[in-house]
């Protein structure tokens, strides 16, 4: 029967109300950070203090907050991380020495100035429950603070040190996500990435003055930015150096953090660097005495100008000398294909040999040494591409790994073919072989439930 106009109106009103109810049920918590941290490169430790402003945008009253203490994943061989490595055939962490392992301690949580009790997670030592002294109603916020001390592990996974090369990732106490499905109190895993709340970061990092630091967000120290430019070693870039320095003189910074001079450095001199970045869900930083620096800018289609940095050791000059160009190409490609890059800076960092592959963090990515320039170009594009999926969309990669790795790999392949022409489809061949053998797994498999091969081919 043909609907009457009244029925049409009723139907439209019903759909509108249904949509409004659906939209009103969506919310995200807001977690803003102020962090001060210092690096001891003799003991491979961090000492920090963080103050978190936690805004409860949910419709629920919260009585506690789960916190990730992911450095404790490296504390012993009874963690989810250690178990997963063994299941995947990796024994280096299991047989590591006490000195190579890591942990986080010296926590003392305060909530709005009142002491807060902590409870251990029933299954994982890298998660704790912080009990709120008073319930946190909807639309209210609390200030949570704590000191913390981290013994960094050797670089078995994403975080740690290798000699005087530091990868400081998953390093601070971090609230777990609370969403429509409840708490996501997940342990750290090698195979399986992250799901985090968005917020603003203001981070001050104190390091020995001889170290070069690369971090999430925008560096606020003008003297340090000029010092970084002095570490450019390539003749093609040196020609631009004076022009770049002049441009910085006319580019005032909103905040200036005092630091000791980097001239006549000695073992006791330090510097404190400030980085600020809004609307991200994580913060990572890297430090190495040897880093040389490339810097340039790139213009997006809208005319927006992005600062682009690459940091690498002189030993990798042959393969990394064009890394700044690779990063620029990747930012422009993804901006045109997916949506404009929303931040003002992007950085690429060379990790040590022990850091296998690449890993993304907001505005910054780390990549292990590569023998071939083409391989480096492709992996830089892939890791920068994660800024859109891991970074901006920020789906739960533990449950839906294909939403990050799969979609990003699709665009990475478009980038590679546009630049280098048709490529051998080795991953496709491997997947088809697994499918014929009936040893593949459904795409909607949790990250930790994939076999190593299927994580790389199916997800």
For the chain, the domains span 27-197, 424-459
Q: What is the pLDDT along the chain (459 residues), one digit of tens a residue?
A: 444 454 444 444 445 444 444 445 899 999 999 999 999 999 999 999 999 999 999 999 999 999 999 999 999 999 999 999 999 999 999 999 999 999 999 999 999 999 999 999 999 999 999 999 999 999 999 999 999 999 999 999 999 999 999 999 999 999 999 999 999 999 999 999 999 999 999 999 999 999 999 999 999 999 999 999 988 854 334 444 455 444 444 344 444 444 444 444 456 899 999 999 999 999 999 999 999 999 999 999 999 999 999 999 999 999 999 999 999 999 999 999 999 999 999 999 999 988 878 999 999 999 999 999 999 999 999 999 999 999 999 999 999 999 999 999 999 999 999 999 999 989 899 999 999 999 999 999 999 999 999 999 999
pLDDT of residue 9: 41
What local confidence, expressed as pLDDT, does residue 268 receive? Answer: 80
Structure-token match 């920020």, residue found:
394
Residue for token digits 């002189």?
314
| E strand spans, 257-394 | 270-280, 285-288, 292-299, 305-312, 345-350, 358-361, 364-367
Q: Give the pLDDT score at 293.
A: 96
Count Cα neighbours of 319 within 13 Å in the Cβ-side half-sphere. 19
Residue with structure tokens 């709005």?
112
The DSSP code for 278 is E
CATH architecture of 27-197: Sandwich (2.60)
Which pLDDT belongs to residue 231?
Answer: 86
pLDDT of amino acid 354: 86
Tokens, residue 318: 């042959």
Buried b (16+ CB within 10 A) or exposed e, 60-72: eebebbbbbbbbb
Distance of CA 256 to the CA centre of its chain: 25
Given this model, what pLDDT does residue 19 score?
Answer: 47
């Amino acid at each position: 029967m043909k609907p009457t106009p009244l029925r049409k109106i009723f139907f439209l009103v019903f759909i509108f109300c249904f949509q409004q109810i659906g939209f009103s049920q969506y919310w995200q918590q807001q977690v803003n950070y102020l962090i001060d941290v210092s690096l001891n490169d003799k003991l491979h430790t961090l000492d920090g203090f963080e103050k978190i402003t936690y805004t409860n945008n949910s419709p629920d009253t919260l009585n506690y907050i789960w916190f990730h203490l992911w450095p404790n994943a490296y504390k012993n061989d009874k963690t989810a991380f250690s178990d997963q490595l063994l299941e995947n055939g990796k024994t280096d962490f299991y047989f590591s020495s006490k000195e190579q392992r890591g942990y986080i301690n010296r926590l003392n949580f305060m909530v709005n100035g009142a002491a807060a009790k902590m409870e251990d997670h029933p299954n994982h030592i890298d998660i704790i429950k912080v009990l709120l002294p008073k319930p946190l109603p909807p639309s209210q916020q609390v200030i949570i603070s704590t000191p913390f001390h981290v013994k960094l592990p050797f670089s078995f996974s994403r975080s740690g040190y290798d000699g005087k090369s530091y990868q400081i990732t998953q390093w601070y106490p971090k609230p777990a996500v609370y969403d429509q499905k409840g708490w996501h109190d997940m342990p750290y895993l090698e195979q399986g990435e992250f799901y985090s709340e968005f917020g603003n970061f203001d981070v001050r990092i104190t390091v020995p003055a001889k170290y070069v630091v690369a971090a999430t967000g925008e560096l606020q120290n003008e003297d340090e930015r000029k010092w970084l430019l002095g570490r450019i070693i390539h003749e093609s870039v040196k020609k631009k150096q004076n022009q770049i320095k002049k441009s910085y003189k006319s580019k005032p910074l909103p905040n200036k953090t005092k630091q000791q001079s980097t001239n006549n450095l000695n073992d006791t001199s330090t510097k404190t660097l400030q980085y600020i970045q809004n609307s991200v869900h994580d913060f990572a930083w890297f430090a190495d005495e040897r880093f040389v620096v490339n810097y340039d800018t790139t213009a997006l289609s809208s005319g927006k100008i992005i600062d682009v940095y690459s940091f690498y050791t002189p030993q990798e000059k042959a393969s990394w000398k064009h890394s700044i160009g690779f990063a620029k190409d990747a930012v422009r490609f993804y901006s045109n294909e997916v949506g404009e890059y929303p931040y003002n800076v992007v950085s690429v960092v060379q990790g040590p040999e022990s850091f296998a592959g690449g890993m993304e963090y907001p505005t910054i990515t780390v990549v292990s040494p590569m023998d071939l320039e083409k391989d480096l170009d492709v992996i830089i594009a892939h890791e920068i591409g994660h800024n859109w999926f891991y970074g901006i969309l920020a789906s739960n990669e533990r449950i839906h790994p294909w939403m990050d790795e799969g979609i990003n790999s699709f665009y990475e392949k478009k980038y590679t073919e546009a630049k280098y022409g048709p490529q051998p489809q080795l991953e496709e061949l491997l997947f088809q072989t697994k499918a014929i053998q009936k040893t593949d797994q459904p795409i909607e498999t949790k990250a930790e439930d994939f076999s190593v091969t299927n994580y790389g081919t199916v997800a």
